[in-house]
Structure 1
Amino acid sequence: MITARSDSSVTFSQNVETENYSGTVFKLEIDRKIILLSDVQVKEETGIDPEGINFVAYRSENKLTNRGSDEWKKETGLLSIWMLGMFIPSPAVTVVIPVRQGEEKELGIEVNDNYFGKISGDRLKISGRNIYFRADGKSRGKIGISPQRATGLMGSYDFENNILTLLICKLPEGKAEYVNSAWQIQDNPYSGDALNSYNDGPLEDGSQMGPFYELETSSPATALKPGESLIHSQVTIHLTGDKKLLNQAAVKCFGVTLDVIEGIFK
């Protein structure tokens, strides 16, 4: 339900009651505000001056409130806010995700690619500080970046249409427990990833949901007392235009040129 609107924003609200696999009933309120961003706000968010570049940018502010009479507890299940940005796939689209550098024994693996089976090397590569993932909508697969590795930045580049997409999510400090979203019974349900990317593809029976690809962010799993709220925000920016200016943006965000991104799977 729309609860407010202006020339640059719209706010939605919905009351929900749902039950998890363990039988815990959650009564909650979901509020979401979408805000179009100006060139000044884009520069504040990214450090990139968008002058001379065509762009669409928006912030998604999401709030989850416990409207029940019981506190949410780890033992009976917690909720998180999971945002899925769904985009048009193409053989020309590559997802780029910077990760924190460091020893695996301290930070864990750089990328989790075992959601729907391991992903082959012609679709997933690690080079320098970046994870590269092919987003062509032709092979179903999903990758995840743990909160220990995530920088809060991810994006993609479509070199045929010359579109650079950025997704920015400021992750809370010291929050390591994220919902494990693998489709299976969980031994450790709070060992999930903070950032994900999904590439759609045909199922075994030949059917397909999309095609599409996704850039995803999640909030930590949070124990909320009645009336308490969890807030999770992210910014999505689509840039196109002068390739020289887009290249400067890519180097600033990902530390590599557009030519590197374009050629990573060639």
Structure 2
Amino acid sequence: MKNTRIPVGSGIGGLVLCLFSPWVSADEKFADDVAFMKEHTQIVLLHDGDAAVAVAPAYQGRVMTSTFDRKAGPSFGWINRPVIEKGFLSEEDKKGKLEEHIYIFGGEERFWLGPEGGQYALFFRPGTKFEFSDWATPAAIDTEAFELVEQTETSAKFKHTTDLINYSGAEFNVGIERTVKLLPPQEASKLLGVELSDGLRMVGYETDNRITNTGSDAWKPETGLLSIWMLGMYNPSPETTVVIPFEEGDDKTLGPRVNDTYFGKVPAEYLQVKKQKLFFKGDGTRRGKIGINPQRSQGIAGSYDAAGQVLNIVTYNLQDAPHGFVNSMWELQDEPYAGDVINSYNDGSPEPGKAPLGPFYELETSSPASALKPGETMKHVQRTFHIQGSEEELNPLARRLLGAHLDDIKDAF
């Protein structure tokens, strides 16, 4: 893999009908979301000065939302209030029974495991079809709580154990560790390799995610491998555009610039692919997904909310991938380890006559495929930054981090 140009380092439900407007009001507040969630589930609130992150142990230690001002600031995560309010349907559900396909609680960074589709899929049981009606999220990353084992004002550590079976019938005994940590502005600036002026407001956090083979047998490519998969649900809007820079080069050497056929080819009015970057709508009006392979990846993805003047940045730890990356395409695959490392998803109706899952849009990153011997561990670190300010202050950051001028982002569609 090529080195990223950003010094991130390597150490480190059933379907829910949309009851409201597809787009969240700009005056949604972090404090309101936290107060609502606390009525229905435990929330661990991490804070450093005004910046804060709300984490839910019952929802796999996911970051539900964050803000740069915990008293009066915006809420950056998409929160599905009807599902949170309803909660699990019964005590049996808490033991792993699924609400049809998934409990869509929302949350701007959640822990998942891949692959989703293919002969080694975790989201399709043996003998099922690669269709939405047979798709189901494993309980370990949907309904099972993670145990909170350590906590400070700025960090929280979670653990969990689970047993999984893939589409081909292979079994996995998995230990999970996840640590969420707030990043102070000075550290965020250093990690991003940019200067953050005093006029900018920001919240940044890092999650250290690990899986361990707790069984007695090695995980082998010929029976399927797992990956750590991080997904962030964000509030969609007509003025939100995803931006992903990628390495320039010949398709025969680096592969295609983008995989845009996960759920059918994404039309030009939702996806624009340039020489070294792409623009993808984050408006929550049409279901579509795109991916960047590890040869093309620069270790970074982002989006810009022009209405809120917020630049959202996601980075991950680049590491060797001797066994490739798992392929999550919904089909029997010729190359099950030729998957993508960065994805973005725009929500919409999954089938004719079906309501959208949210709507929301997502930024996602994945670890390499993990061929782990008993007792071995794979680690994947993701960092998320929300930076708000004037376009004059944000434009140099967008150009440095994403290779795109704000005017080009706003005029992409």
TM-score (norm: length of structure 1): 0.97
Query: What is the SS of the residue equivalent to 1:248?
Result: helix
Q: Percent identity?
A: 46
Q: Select which of 82, 92, 102 maps to 2:239.
A: 92
Question: Mapping of 1:5-44 within 5 angstroms?
Answer: 5-44=151-190
Which deviates more, 34-43 or 250-259? Answer: 250-259
- RMSD value, Cα: 1.1
* Change in CA separation of 1:134 and 1:248 when aligned onto 2, cut-off 3 Å: same
Deviations 1:131-183 (A, max 9, x none): 11011000000000001101101000010111100001132145461010112
Q: Select which of 57, 78, 85 maps to 2:225.
A: 78
Letter in 1 for 2:312: T
Distance of 2:218 and 2:263 partners within structure 1:
33
| Mapped contact 2:323–2:371 kept (Cα < 8 A) | no
Question: How far did residue 255 of structure 1 move?
Answer: 2.3
Q: Select which of 142, 147, 162 maps to 2:309.
A: 162
Letter in 2 for 1:248: P
| Mapped contact 2:321–2:369 kept (Cα < 8 A) | no
Q: Select which of 355, 360, 377 maps to 1:207.
A: 355
Question: How far did residue 251 of structure 1 move?
Answer: 1.2
**Which structure 1 residue ranges, 5 or more long, are not aligned?**
none
TM-score (norm: length of structure 2): 0.63
| Counterpart in the other structure of 1:245 | 393
| Counterpart in the other structure of 1:152 | 299
Distance of 2:158 and 2:348 partners within structure 1:
31
Where in structure 1 do 4 or more consecutive aligned residues deviate above 3 Å? 173-176
Letter in 1 for 2:190: E
Deviations 1:207-232 (A, max 9, x none): 11110111000011021010000000
| Counterpart in the other structure of 1:233 | 381
Query: What is the SS of the residue equivalent to 1:81?
Result: strand
Letter in 2 for 1:243: E
Structure possessing the higher relative contact order (Cα contacts under 8 Å, 6 or more residues apart): 1
Deviations 1:103-151 (A, max 9, x none): 1110010000000000111110112311110110000000000011011
Question: Mapping of 1:38-117 within 5 angstroms?
Answer: 38-50=184-196, 51-117=198-264
Deviations 1:3-50 (A, max 9, x none): 101010011110011111111110111100010000111111112222
| Counterpart in the other structure of 2:131 | none
Question: How far did residue 189 of structure 1 move?
Answer: 1.0
| Mapped contact 2:258–2:293 kept (Cα < 8 A) | yes
Distance of 1:199 and 1:143 partners within structure 2:
9
Query: What is the SS of the residue equivalent to 2:269?
Result: coil
Question: How far did residue 242 of structure 1 move?
Answer: 2.5
**Which structure 2 residue ranges, 5 or more long, are not aligned?**
1-146
Q: Select which of 349, 352, 370 maps to 1:222.
A: 370
Distance of 1:242 and 1:255 partners within structure 2:
18
